[in-house]
């Protein structure tokens, strides 16, 4: 004879389970946003790159004509050179300097919170405001040249010499990104067990030795993340160079980057949306290649 509890269990109706489509219902709002503002513009850009469109609504199919023109365009190679140089000049500094800065500000010293906030301030500042401030500082009649003249040195053409202008824009990018990557490194450093440093200290290792044998291996994955993020940001640089060199990319367009070329080609009365779309696709492919290169280097390092 069954007990009342067993009888209730037998009579209990089975719990209804959600169908296989239920997870997609929860994901639908996010997928719609990504599709509307990410996937659709990307597919539209790829489609326009094979047309002679001058607006977003019209144009005729021309095949790979835009890509063939792009290969023979001297300004494209100038922009590619400047973008690659920007990556090579900015990324190593943004991988190393924020790590050193994070190790400095993580110490429990009086007033260290103020310095953390001060180092992070350029991150939240408008890039337009930052660019204008540095233009004022680096101008031929700006504060830095005034100080150089007061010290007996001649004026330096930070904004008139193409190479110095590019280096100045790199310096602004590094200065503005230090605080952002410093925060990322602070989170990684907080996860390093204190016992590792104490064991190295007992073995007689100095500060540099502990940094190379404990800190760097422990934050290696974070360094790869910083390298990937800063590589993409540096290759797609626009605001800093645009504000310091102007819409044309400085004297003779020598400081034009690829993203500036996209803006120049796609806007104005003679805007060529098709050609600008081809440039955008090339920027995307190169950026994706940079990401894969960094990830592959990280994977090889893990296997070694």
The full set of domain ranges for the chain reads 65-303
CATH for 65-303, among 1.10.3210.10, 3.30.110.30, 3.40.50.300, 1.10.3720.10? 1.10.3720.10
DSSP 14: P
Q: What is the pLDDT of residue 24?
A: 79
pLDDT (0 to 100) of residue 270:
64
Helix (H, G, I), strand (E, B) or coil at 51: strand
Say how far apart CA 281 and CA 145 lie, in whole Å. 41
Tell me the CA distances in angstroms from 104 to 100, 177, 283, one per residue in order.
6, 17, 36
Q: Does residue 127 contact residue 135 with C-beta atoms inside 8 Å?
A: no
Per-position pLDDT tens, the chain of length 304: 556 655 555 555 555 555 566 777 888 888 898 888 888 888 988 998 999 888 777 788 898 999 999 999 999 999 999 999 999 999 999 999 999 999 888 877 777 888 888 888 888 888 888 888 898 898 888 889 889 888 888 888 888 888 899 999 999 999 999 999 999 999 898 888 888 777 887 777 777 888 888 888 889 889 988 998 999 999 999 988 888 888 777 777 888 999 999 988 888 666 788 999 999 999 999 998 888 888 787 777 666 5
Burial class of residue 110 (count of CB atoms within 10 Å of its CB; 0-12, 13-18, 19+): exposed
Cα 272 to Cα 274: distance, rounded to the nearest angstrom: 5
pLDDT digits (tens, 9 = 90+) for 157-209: 888 888 899 999 999 999 999 999 999 999 898 888 888 777 887 777 777 88
- Residues 237 and 194: their CA atoms lie apart, in Å, by 39
**Which residue, 127, 140, 158, 138, is CA-closest to 255?**
158
Q: What angle do CA 127, 100, 210 make, to 5 degrees?
A: 160
Distances in Å between the alpha carbon of 262 and those of 45, 91, 95, 203, 269?
12, 23, 28, 56, 15
Q: Which two tokens stand for residue 173?
A: 């990018």
First to last CA, the chain: 68
Q: Which pLDDT score is estimated for 60?
A: 86
pTM of the prediction? 0.83
Dihedral of alpha carbons 158, 163, 169, 174, sign: negative
Residue 95 pLDDT: 94
């Amino acid at each position: 004879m069954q007990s009342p509890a067993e009888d209730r269990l037998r009579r209990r109706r089975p719990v209804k389970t959600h169908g296989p489509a239920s997870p997609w219902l929860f994901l639908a709002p996010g997928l719609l946003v990504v599709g509307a503002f990410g996937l659709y513009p990307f597919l539209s850009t790829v489609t326009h790159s094979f047309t002679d469109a001058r607006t977003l609504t019209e144009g005729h199919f021309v095949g790979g004509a835009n890509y063939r023109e792009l290969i023979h365009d001297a300004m494209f190679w100038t922009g590619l050179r400047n973008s690659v140089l920007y990556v090579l000049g900015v990324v190593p500094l943004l991988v190393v300097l924020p790590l050193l800065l994070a190790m400095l500000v993580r110490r429990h010293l009086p007033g260290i919170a103020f310095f953390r906030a001060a180092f992070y301030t350029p991150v939240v500042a408008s890039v337009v405001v930052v660019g204008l401030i540095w233009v004022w500082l680096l101008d031929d009649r700006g504060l830095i040249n005034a100080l150089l003249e007061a010290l007996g040195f001649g004026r330096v053409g930070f904004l008139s010499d193409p190479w110095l202008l590019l280096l100045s824009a790199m310096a602004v990018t590094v200065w503005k990104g230090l605080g952002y990557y410093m925060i990322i490194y602070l989170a990684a450093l907080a996860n390093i067990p204190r016992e590792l440093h104490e064991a190295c200290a007992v073995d007689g290792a100095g500060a540099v030795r502990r940094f190379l044998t404990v800190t760097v291996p422990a934050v290696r994955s974070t360094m790869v993340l910083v390298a990937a993020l800063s590589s993409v940001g540096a290759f797609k640089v626009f605001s800093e160079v645009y504000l310091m060199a102007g819409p044309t990319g400085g004297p003779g367009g020598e400081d034009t980057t690829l993203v500036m070329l996209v803006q120049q080609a796609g806007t104005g009365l003679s805007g060529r949306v098709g050609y600008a779309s081809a440039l955008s696709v090339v920027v995307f492919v190169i950026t994706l290649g940079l990401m894969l290169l960094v990830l592959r280097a990280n994977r090889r390092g893990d296997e070694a």
